[in-house]
Amino acid sequence: MGRLLLIDVVTAVVALALWYCLFAAYNRRKGSEALRWVQSACAGKGRVLESQWLNSSRLYARLQFPSRNFENARVTVKFRPRPLPIQWLVSCWRKQKETLTFEADLGGSPTFHLEVTRHRWCAHTRGVTTRRRDGREWDVYEPGPVILTTRTHWTRDPAAELNALMTVRQQDVLKVRFHPKSPQFSATVALDALADPRTAAGFLTTLRELAAGASAHRQ
């Protein structure tokens, strides 16, 4: 009985080790592909300086841009934790996306702290009768901007920032953040959205527009 138990334990350890090695290698291949997407998105206006794996599912890379729009730029790519079966199953159950987060300083500290999540739409039906089950009519509404602030008085017009931030609707951007301290700017995008070269280039354009909006506000 003891020998059979030992064989089972050794088999399980070998299976887990093989699982880890295979899926860690899979994530590394996806990481190399993601860095190629990033380099393609830079379109000659920036480059990847170096990269390193923080763990089996998180890749970090430093970027360099010739302009002053972005300083100390870096990206963090978060993959599904495939090498760890339990964490991978939890990730799949929660439907967590693989993401790329771009972080940088803007060459001048923003005077505001702002976080924006992806713009969403809401809709409801006008009702459906038994005779026209396939003839549903939808009323679609575009909500106006909603600002949550800790200030007791809101004296300035935030239109410049909000107009720039509305551009995230054109990309699969999940979150945008401005902060007076480093990193002063960050944006998180679904990794799959960068697979298309045009979409990837558009994402970098969106980042520049957001940075330009913050710079215009400082002036």
Q: What is the pLDDT of residue 118?
A: 61
Residues above pLDDT 70, as percent of the chain: 66
Q: What is the pLDDT of residue 153?
A: 62
Per-residue pLDDT tens over the stretch 106-152? 876 666 677 776 645 555 555 555 555 555 566 666 555 566 666 56
Select from 193, 177, 3 the least CA-distant residue to 102.
177
Structure pTM? 0.74
Q: What is the pLDDT of residue 139?
A: 66
Enumerate residue ranges in the chain where pLDDT < 50: 119, 160, 219
Spatial separation of the C-alpha atoms in residues 193 and 201, rounded to whole Å: 11
Spatial separation of the C-alpha atoms in residues 46 and 182, rounded to whole Å: 20
Q: What is the pLDDT of residue 18?
A: 93
CB 40 within 8 A of CB 88: no
Spatial separation of the C-alpha atoms in residues 117 and 187, rounded to whole Å: 10
Q: What is the pLDDT of residue 183?
A: 86
